[in-house]
Chain A
C-alpha cells in the first residue's frame, strides 16, 4: 500500500512490481550459473584454465560426443517421424477424430518422460521386457542380434517417445500456415507433387524444420532422468557425468563438474541462439 502514494514516479513502483521477479531470476538462475563459471576457472591459486582445458580430454570428450550424437539423432528421428505424422494428420481427407486424438495424445506423450518413461521401455524392450521375451519365443533374439536398450541407439528409440510428439506440436502451426493457394498455383503452372515440395513447400518450411530440429536437439541434450534410469552410466553422457560428480560417485573434482556444466550451458546458448535466428526467418511467410 505504501507505494500508492508514489504513483507519480513510475520508477519506484516498477521496481516494486517487477523487482521480485528480477531478483528471483538473478538469485536462483544467474548467480548459480556465474558460480559455475567462477568454479570452473578457479584453482587453488587464482585463475586457472586447467579444468576447462580438461574438457578436451578422455572421458569428457567421449561424454560430450555421445551427448551431441545422441541429441542430434534423437532430434533427426523426431523431426522426420513427427514431421511426416503432422503432415499426414493435417491432410484434408483425415478424420477430425484422428486429428484431435493425435493432438491430445501428443500433449501427454511430450510431457511423459524421465524415470517412468525409462521403466516403460525396460518393461517392453529391456532384456526381460515383454516384447523381447515374446520375440525370443518366436525365434527372434533381439539382444543376440546386437540390439540393446541400454545403448546409444536404444536411447534414441526411447527419446523418440517425447521427441516425436514435441515435433508434432511445434510443427503443426507451420504446416497450417502453408496456404492451399500456393499448391494450387504450382499445380496450375504444371508442377508435380515432387516439384511443389522441391521448389515451394520445403523451402518455405525449411526455417520451421530447422528451428524444430534445434529445439528438439536442446530438449534431448538436457535430458538427465531418462538416461540415468535407463543406462545407469553404461553410456557416458554429460548430464550423467555431472550427476556422478555431484553425488561423489567418482574421483573427479567439483571444478571439473562445474566445467562440464558450463560446457552444457555453452552448447545450450548456441542452440537457443540458432533457434532465435531460425524463428526470425519463419515470420516472413506468415499469414498477412
Chain B
C-alpha cells in the first residue's frame, strides 16, 4: 500500500503541476483561434498581421532592447573589467550596487524618475528615454554575467600583452577582452531582450507604445487577438531563454521583479 502510494503520489504531483503550466497555454492557443460561435480559424492572426501599430510597437521594443544592451555594456564592461584587473577589493561594494535595483521596485523607480526628471524634452519626450531605466532593470544580470565571464579570463596577461603591442585601453577592452566574453555577453543580452520585450511598468506610466503596452491595449478591444499576441510573447521569451540555456549560462538566469 505504502509502496504504491509512494510511487503514485510523486507522479500525480508532477502531472498536476504539468497540467497547471500547460493548460493556460493550450487554452490561450484555442482562444486565439476562436472566431465566434463554433467557428475556428486564423482570423485574429490575419487581422493582427495587417495592424501597422503592432509592427511599430514590436520594432520599438526590439530597438529598445538593442539600445539597452549596448548602453548597458558601455557602462558596465569598463567597470567590471577594472574591478577584476585592479581593484578586486571594491568587489563587495559593486556586488552590493548591482543588487540595488531589486530593492527599488520598477513602479517606485518610475515614480521617482518622473518626479526628478521633467526635461529636457528631447530626452524625456521620446521612447528612447526608456533605455535609461531598462539598463537599471538589466543591471543585476548583466553585471553578474560579465563578472562571471571575466573571472575566468587571464586579464593581467591580456592587458600586458596588448599594451606592450601598443594598444590603448579602448582597444584592449573592445578588441581583446570583449571578444573573449561572447558566451557571457550572449547570456546577458538574451536575458535583457526577455526583460525589455515584456517590460510594461515604465512604458505604461510614461505613455510609450511598446510591445507589452500594445498587448494590453489590444486586450481592451479584442480578446482573441490579445491571446494570439500572448502566444507570440511566450514564444519570444521561450526563444530568448532557449538561447540562454544553449549558450551555456545554465538554468539559473532568471529575472526577479523585472517585467511582472
Q: Which residues of A contact B (CB under 8 A)?
A: 1, 3-4, 10, 13-14, 16-18, 20-22, 24-25, 28-36, 39, 81, 84-85, 88-89, 91, 98, 103-117, 119-125, 128-131, 160-162, 164-166, 169-170, 172-173, 215, 218-226, 228-229, 239, 242-243, 245-247, 254, 257-258, 261-262, 264-265, 268-269, 272
Contacts and interface: CB of A to CB of B under 8 A. Distances in A.
A245 to B, nearest CB: 8
9 closest Cβ contacts across the A-B interface? A32-B112, A222-B105, A17-B82, A225-B200, A223-B260, A261-B108, A123-B31, A124-B27, A21-B79
Interface string B77-118: 011011100110010001001011111111111111111110
B10 A113 contact: no
A218 B256 contact: yes
B86 A10 contact: yes
Residue with the highest number of chain B CB atoms closer than 10 Å, among A125, A225, A264: A225
Contacts of A28: 113, 132-133, 135-136
Contact of B251 (A21, A32, A107): A107
B30 A32 contact: no
Contacts of A254: 115
Contacts of B133: 28
A25 B24 contact: no
Contact of A111 (B30, B87, B254): B254
Nearest to B101: A29
A88 B256 contact: no
A29 B75 contact: no
B176 interface: no
A213 to B, nearest CB: 14
21 contacts: A1-B169, A21-B76, A24-B75, A32-B111, A32-B112, A32-B113, A104-B241, A113-B259, A122-B219, A123-B32, A169-B251, A219-B256, A223-B257, A223-B260, A224-B260, A228-B204, A239-B201, A258-B115, A262-B108, A264-B107, A272-B102
A124 B201 CA distance: 24
A29 B102 CA distance: 11
Interface string B175-217: 0000000000000000100110011110011000000100110
A246 B223 contact: no
A246 B205 contact: yes
B252 interface: yes
Given A14-B87, A242-B107, A116 B205 contact: no
A123 B24 contact: yes
Contacts of B20: 160-161
B260 A113 contact: yes
Main secondary structure of the interface of A (DSSP, over half): helix
B230 to A, nearest CB: 4
Given A32-B109, A104-B251, A120-B24, A115 B215 contact: yes
Contacts, number: 285
A4 B237 CA distance: 43
B57 interface: no
Given A116-B234, A120-B28, A17 B107 contact: no
A85 B75 CA distance: 39
A103 B234 CA distance: 17
B122 interface: no
Given A162-B260, A166-B254, A219-B257, A224 B106 contact: yes
A224 B107 contact: yes
B241 A114 contact: no
B23 A124 contact: yes
Contact of A258 (B111, B117, B229): B111
A30 B116 CA distance: 11
B27 A129 contact: yes
A226 B260 CA distance: 6
A170 to B, nearest CB: 8
Interface string B122-157: 000000000011011001000000000000000000
Contacts of A20: 74-75, 78-79
Contact of B219 (A119, A222, A258): A119
B14 interface: yes
A108 B136 contact: no
